[in-house]
Amino acid sequence: MTTEQTPPRDKSWSWASFGLTAVLVLLTAIAGLILLPSLQTNASYSSLWDAICSAAGVLRPSASQPSIEPTFKVSQVVLTSGMLRNPSQESIGRGATLGQRCAICHGPSGISRADSPNLAGQYASVIYKELLDFRSGARVNSVMSPFAEPLSDQDIVDLAAYYSYLPRLPGYHPTMQTPAPRIVINGAPMRGIASCGSCHGGLANKAGSPWLEQQPEPYILSQLRAFASGDRHNDIGQQMRNIARQMTSDEMAEVARYYASQPLGSSTQ
């Protein structure tokens, strides 16, 4: 394949290629950014420039339709994983003092004898989020709300530090090992239900999701029902409401019984 001379450099290839490419870019840009948006009948653009900006993906002020506000307060808490990790000793100590007033329902060692949730060893992010939501009114409970109202931000961080610091202890509830219901392991894909274990431990833990083992059965059940009815609505993006609405009452009972009977720490690595 050897040979003679390659012809001297001529610019015709360059001109032709650049020209052709430029024409293509121009034509597609005119079609995509001007022509097609101007043919849209269902979008109202104030001007040609507005249409071009829209097609180019520039953020435009949204249409003047009023947004629908919920009739209740929504959770404003932002959580990232590990955000409350490694609290100071002072914080835990202050939390212990503040925690005295919680003992009447949640138990002096964080283990409830009143079917309130057990808090000993719960994730800090969970305590933190729920207290903030009780305080803001995103979550309402006639007993709990008045307790949360006077708490400062620091109080809430300290309480979260204290309860997450406490060791998990076996609760008042008898242990009776039952096989995991399918909804815990696999969820129900056709109803849009992710498995319980994919957030609450066992498969994975997500920030803001509590571990549930040996939590009181009536508490789990009442919360599922509250999510389903919308009485409880502080779950971000309706995660739990969407799940609970799709669950049957049998499934709720089964899940509550299952988690209440699980050995402590079985869902966490």
Residues of the shown chain interacting with other proteins in the complex, contacts defined by CB under 8 A: 1-7, 9-10, 13-14, 17-18, 21, 24-25, 28-29, 31-33, 36-37, 52, 54-59, 78-82, 123-126, 185-186, 188-190, 195, 198, 203-209, 268-269
**Nearest approach, Cβ of residue 221 and other proteins (Å):** 23
Minimum CB separation of residue 257 from other proteins in Å reads 20
Running DSSP on this structure, what letter comes out for residue 188? Answer: B
Under 8 Å CB-to-CB from 105, ≥6 apart: which residues? 112, 114, 116, 143
Of 48 and 103, nearer to other proteins (C-beta) is: 48
Is residue 45 within 8 Å of 51, Cβ to Cβ?
yes
Cβ(122)–Cβ(219) under 8 Å? no
**In degrees rounded to 5, what are phi and psi of residue 16?**
-65, -45
CB of 4 to other proteins, least distance (A): 6
Shortest approach of other proteins to residue 14 CB, angstroms? 5
Residue 205 has phi, psi (to 5 degrees) of -120, 130
Nearer to other proteins, 184 or 252 (CB): 184
Residue with tokens 């948006």: 37
Q: Which is nearer to other proteins, 39 or 142 (CB)?
A: 39
Range list of β-strands (E), the chain: none
**Judged by CB, which is closer to other proteins: 16, or 114?**
16
CB 99 within 8 A of CB 163: yes
Q: Which lies closer to other proteins via its Cβ, residue 54 or residue 239?
A: 54
Distance (Å, whole) CA 154 – CA 95: 9
The smaller minimum CB distance to other proteins, of residues 32 and 108, is found at 32
Task: Provide, rounded to whole angstroms, the least separation between the CB of residue 183 and other proteins.
Answer: 12
Using a 10 angstrom Cβ sphere, with 0-12 exposed, 13-18 middle and 19 or more buried, the burial of residue 216 is buried
Q: Cβ(64)–Cβ(81) under 8 Å? A: no
Q: Which is nearer to other proteins, 28 or 97 (CB)?
A: 28
Shortest distance, position 202 Cβ to other proteins, whole Å: 8
Q: How far is the CB of 116 from other proteins (least distance, A)?
A: 21
**Considering only CA atoms, which of 170, 175, 164, 66 is closest in space to residue 124?**
164
